[in-house]
Amino acid sequence: MLLLCNYYVTYRCNAYCEFCEFAAHGKYKDTPHASLEDFIRNTNELKKLGVKFIDLTGGEPLLNPHIVEMTEHARALKMQTSITTNTLLYSKYAEKLAGKVNLLHFSLDSPDEDEHNKIRGVESYKSVFESIELAKSLGEFPDILFTVTNETYKKLPRMYDIAVKHDLILLVNPVFSYFGNPGLSLEALDFIEDFVQGKSNAYLNKAFIDLRRDGGNHIESPKCKAVSRVMVISPMNEVVLPCYHFMRKTIPIKKSIADVIKSDEYQYYKSMEGRFDFCEGCAVNCYFEPSFAFPTDKYAVAALPSKIKYGYQKLVKQKIKKLLK
């Protein structure tokens, strides 16, 4: 059952983050943006296939010149949307995006300006706080996304103070092992879990922590649903299999997504989700969040309280936003 589409509206980026392969100097700097025509056709079909949520992702999604039209179309289809941005281009689109993105995330990697800018490889610290003020002036309540690393996890209390000061939710995003990053130590996992417990303005999916403590996905008893619950579409209008992070196959969307799903290649990757050798030990958040969508095992049960808390917090803030209009 497809729940989510990770729609890569661009692979390009305007930052140089240490933990990400989309750095502006990297292999994707000259790749095309997703076209609006493809996006409209694909989302129309995804709606019919039952997809409820679209993550407009990248790269830096605000680099796509049609990002506003994309959010407008998804909203017209009554689909939930999310955008995570480094905020460097947010002021350009803020007014036009207002009210059109359900989950707007601003990336902040450290409470210290020099460290954040070093991690990002670009001067973006001030932009985050300017964007927060701008967003709130428009009635928006963006989340602060903190990708926690072994070098920054002890700064979590200060990051939380920033979120509380601005009356925003802090999304605690444990870095996963990918692109040369070793992932979080057990000490870091213990620290962030203990700190977040009971904090109303912090969101941490406990299942992410439990999965890491258990060594990630195990191919003999896989927990990953990267193909059956997630549709990944590239800027080049391809379905990516089995996921973006371990891309082994891309299938061009020539006629329809339904045709791709019916293909032998797609069905093969669906039957093998979480079972490939490279799936051993995987803990990529982007795919385990929807994998734990239903309370069918201990991870799904562990994820439920944090999801309920986050949903409640966002609902309250949405009501506030409506009252301010």
pLDDT at 159 over 70: yes
Q: Decide which of 79 and 316 is more confident.
A: 79
Looking up residue 295, the CATH number of its domain turns out to be 3.20.20.70
pLDDT at 318 over 90: no
pLDDT at 180 over 60: no
pLDDT category, 19, cuts 50, 70, 90? low
pLDDT at residue 309 in the model: 86
- CA atoms within 13 Å, Cβ hemisphere of 193: 18
pLDDT at residue 16 in the model: 83
**Spatial CB neighbours of 313, under 8 Å, sequence gap ≥ 6:** 169, 200, 201, 203
How far from 38 is each of 7, 254, 265, CA to CA, in Å? Answer: 11, 10, 22
H helix and E strand count, the chain: 12, 10
Residue-wise burial string across 19-37, b where 16 or more C-beta atoms lie within 10 A, e elsewhere: ebebbbeeebeeeebbebe
Contact 169, 201 (CB under 8 A): yes
pLDDT category, 312, cuts 50, 70, 90? confident
pLDDT at 322 over 60: no
Q: Say how far apart CA 152 and CA 241 lie, in whole Å.
A: 32
Residue-wise burial string across 177-207, b where 16 or more C-beta atoms lie within 10 A, e elsewhere: ebeeeebbeeebbebbbebbeebebbbbbbb
pLDDT at residue 317 in the model: 65
Q: Kindly report, residue by residue over 224-268, the tens digit of the pLDDT.
A: 999 999 999 999 999 999 999 999 999 999 999 999 999 999 999
pLDDT at residue 154 in the model: 97
**φ/ψ (deg, to 5) at 238:** -125, 150
Among 143-152, 159-168, 257-266, 315-324, the minimum mean pLDDT is found in 315-324
pLDDT category, 296, cuts 50, 70, 90? confident
Q: Say how far apart CA 142 and CA 134 lie, in whole Å.
A: 10
Domain membership of residue 74 as a residue range: 4-324
Q: Say how far apart CA 179 and CA 51 lie, in whole Å.
A: 29
Q: Kindly report, residue by residue over 184-236, the tens digit of the pLDDT.
A: 899 999 999 999 998 989 999 999 999 999 999 999 999 999 999 999 999 99
SS3 161: helix
pLDDT at residue 28 in the model: 77
Q: Say how far apart CA 247 and CA 21 lie, in whole Å.
A: 13
Q: Which residue carries 């001067």 as its tokens?
A: 123
Q: Which two tokens stand for residue 130?
A: 């300017």
How far from 263 is each of 209, 257, 291, CA to CA, in Å? Answer: 36, 10, 23
| Number of domains comprising the chain | 1
In this prediction the pTM is: 0.94
DSSP state of 277: G
Q: Decide which of 38 and 149 is more confident.
A: 38
Nearest to 106 by CA among 121, 91, 114, 118: 91
How far from 78 is each of 44, 121, 166, 294, 300, CA to CA, in Å? Answer: 11, 37, 29, 22, 26
Contact 224, 279 (CB under 8 A): yes
**Spatial CB neighbours of 239, under 8 Å, sequence gap ≥ 6:** 231, 232, 233, 250, 251, 253, 257, 260, 266
Q: Say how far apart CA 59 and CA 11 lie, in whole Å.
A: 4
Q: Decide which of 77 and 17 is more confident.
A: 77
